[in-house]
Amino acid sequence: MNIRNYNIYFNTHTISGIIICALLYVIFFAGSFSFFRDEISAWQKNRSAYAHPASANDYDYLLDSLHAAHNLLGRDITFYVQDNNVQAYVNMGPSQDTTVKKKSTGEDGPRRGRRGRGNGDSAYFQYDFKQNKAGSYAESYDMGEFLYRLHFLAQLNQVPIRIGTPFGYLVAGIVSFLFLFALITGLLLHWDKIVSNFFTFRPWSKWKTIWTDMHTALGVIGFPFQLMYAVTGVILIVNTALVLPFSKLLYDGNSEELYTAIGYNDASTYEYAYQPLGERVALNPYLQQVSERWPGSHASRIYIKNYGDQSMHITVEATPSVETNFAGAGKITFHPASHSITTEKSPTVSVTYLDRVKALIYRLHFGDFGGYPVKTTFFVLGIMGCLVIISGILIWLVARDKKNIPAHKRKFNFWAANVFVAICLTMLPVTALTFIAIKLNPAADQTFIYRIYFYSWLASSCLYVARRNLRTTNKETLALGALLSLCIPLVNGIKTGHWMWQTYRTGALDIFVVDLLWLVIGIVGVIAVLRIRANERKVGPEKPVIPATREVAPITPLEEPRSAIDHP
């Protein structure tokens, strides 16, 4: 390979990697758990979403109670139905009917939720079909939502810096773009030796060799997976980078129009007729009709336009069953006044190019196309990503812990690696601890989860930063994390009586899966800790290693000075 190019790949890979490492670890770690977001919600609230068919959802009960409180005449109502069919986000817009509008603007309606559009009495809230209960966003916040939002750094949005997008999303977007860059340079860097390196694993040699082999082998195995995540991640978080100029230049500056063109929302409007329909329109029969037309499909969005008027239209968007179709989006519009169907596009036939690309982006990113086997595989690949990041940090440190590097630089390098490793590795025990805490406190809401998670994370990171020993950090966080993980199924069993064998037997698979996940993490963690201890005993008592921070640059070292993490 061209030696100049090799060095450039090397340098750009290193720099982009070390800049993003800690944040990328957080994204990968929290993201891996987000595959089980619905399961974690069910686990925390102790309510299995299994054995709840979509047909049991009573939309008319919700519409009736909304109508009694807000007079739905002339309003647009949108349901964003979650994958488990139990929860939906509901958006209720202002009325088209000016006579109703005038009346309702006087009184201040319930402006719940974070996306209140500011339109007088419009509302945005979450609805639970199993309990027939509405809740504000903060009330229905749970650990699944927390980890899901942590994986695109939504909590950083509190930082009052806004450049186009909220701060947290911007940071997450930059991280995933640099990640994409680091992946390309990393691949090119290993291109010549990709086959031989793939089969190279020397677990019994020097630590630096182990880090390098681990970084390369796991990096190469995980490359397609990680590339897919880098690209889809950028798309999902900072697509404004493309949507903004495209809508400006191709759609006359109207981004709504662009989103409609690529089928993200239904911006169609119908002229308000001011002719109220005689009878109340029930929504349930229409959904029944959709499920009969397209068996196995999942109604993902329901748009009601101009409720109760002659011009009322009901549009249902549905995704096909993942068992038969990877891509595809169905859309059907009913006109209740004439009892007719105005448009229909089946989810299983006439799959367009747009549907295919969108399915590729979303299905691959969410890993929701093959049930638990795919989710588990993706989880393991995600955790492998975490290992690639940690080994990358360690290579970076060890490679710079040389006699020809000035002492102040080595001091800084150790300090940086120490902080990064402490922040990353404490995530496992902190997450496990929070799972226990939310189980012990049934009233756990957003504030509670924030407090437990972020304060314990801060405290444990500071502790390990202060101790300045990467080995200790690794060993102790792993041991603590494994023990806490093993406690999670126990705490759940004792507190709720939902022991694993019972949830398995009753078919509450979502609750079972979370317990099983933590059990397996705990067992793997314990095995790893035992292996580390056995290894240490074999090598003999560790010689007191002087951490690089305190090391005075040796005058004439005859051999390479030992690093803080390099084994004697």
Q: How many CB atoms lie within 10 A of CB 413?
A: 20
Q: Each residue of 442-451: b (16+ CB within 10 Å) or e?
A: eebeeeebee
Closest-CA residue to 433 (of 477, 485, 475):
485
Nearer to another protein, 256 or 271 (CB): 256
**Shortest separation between residue 176's beta carbon and another protein, angstroms:** 9
Per-position x/- string for 195-234, each x denoting binding to another protein as judged by CB under 8 A, each - no binding: ------------------------------------x--x
Nearer to another protein, 42 or 231 (CB): 231
Per-position x/- string for 231-250, each x denoting binding to another protein as judged by CB under 8 A, each - no binding: x--xx---x-xx--xx--xx
Q: Give the range of 10-18, 69-77, 379-387, 532-540 binding another protein by CB under 8 A.
A: 10-18
**Shortest separation between residue 261's beta carbon and another protein, angstroms:** 4
Q: Does 357 bind another protein (CB under 8 A)?
A: yes
**Shortest separation between residue 461's beta carbon and another protein, angstroms:** 27
Q: Which of residues 260-279 bind another protein (CB under 8 A)?
A: 261-262
Q: Give the range of 56-64, 117-125, 277-285, 357-365 binding another protein by CB under 8 A.
A: 357-365
Within 13 A of 468's CA, how many CA atoms are on the CB side?
15
Q: Which of residues 60-79 bind another protein (CB under 8 A)?
A: none
Q: Give the range of 104-112, 351-359, 428-436, 554-562 binding another protein by CB under 8 A.
A: 351-359
* φ and ψ of 503, to 5 deg: -65, -35
DSSP H or E stretch at residue 91: strand 87-95
Q: Give the range of 20-28, 99-107, 110-118, 256-264 binding another protein by CB under 8 A.
A: 256-264
Please give the DSSP secondary-structure letter assigned to residue 276.
B
Within 13 A of 260's CA, how many CA atoms are on the CB side?
9
**Shortest separation between residue 354's beta carbon and another protein, angstroms:** 5
Q: What is the SS3 string spanning 311-354?
A: CCEEEEEEECCCCCCCCCCEEEEEEHHHCEEEEEECCCCCCCHH
Nearer to another protein, 296 or 561 (CB): 561
Q: Give the range of 4-12, 198-206, 266-274, 445-453 binding another protein by CB under 8 A.
A: 4-12
Q: Does 11 bind another protein (CB under 8 A)?
A: yes
Q: Site for another protein (CB under 8 A): which residue of 41, 48, 185, 426?
A: 185
Q: How many CB atoms lie within 10 A of CB 332?
A: 22
User: Residue type for 132, please?
Assistant: N
Nearer to another protein, 220 or 361 (CB): 361
Spatial distance between the Cα atoms of 212 and 346, rounded to a whole number of angstroms = 51
Q: Give the range of 21-29, 123-131, 173-181, 517-525 binding another protein by CB under 8 A.
A: 173-181
Q: Give the range of 130-138, 255-263, 469-477, 496-504 binding another protein by CB under 8 A.
A: 255-263
DSSP 11-75: HHHHHHHHHHHHHHHHHHHHHHHHTTHHHHHHHHHT---TT--GGG--HHHHHHHHHHHH--TTE
Measured in whole angstroms, the distance separating CA 428 from the mean position of its chain's CA atoms is 16
Q: Does 5 bind another protein (CB under 8 A)?
A: yes
Q: Each residue of 364-387: b (16+ CB within 10 Å) or e?
A: bbbbbbeeeebbbebbebbbbbbb
Strands 165-166 and 298-305: unpaired
Token pair for residue 342? Answer: 């105005």
Residues lying near another protein in the complex (CB under 8 A): 3-5, 7-8, 10-12, 14, 177, 180-181, 184-185, 188, 231, 234-235, 239, 241-242, 245-246, 249-250, 258, 261-262, 353-354, 357-358, 360-361, 395, 399-400
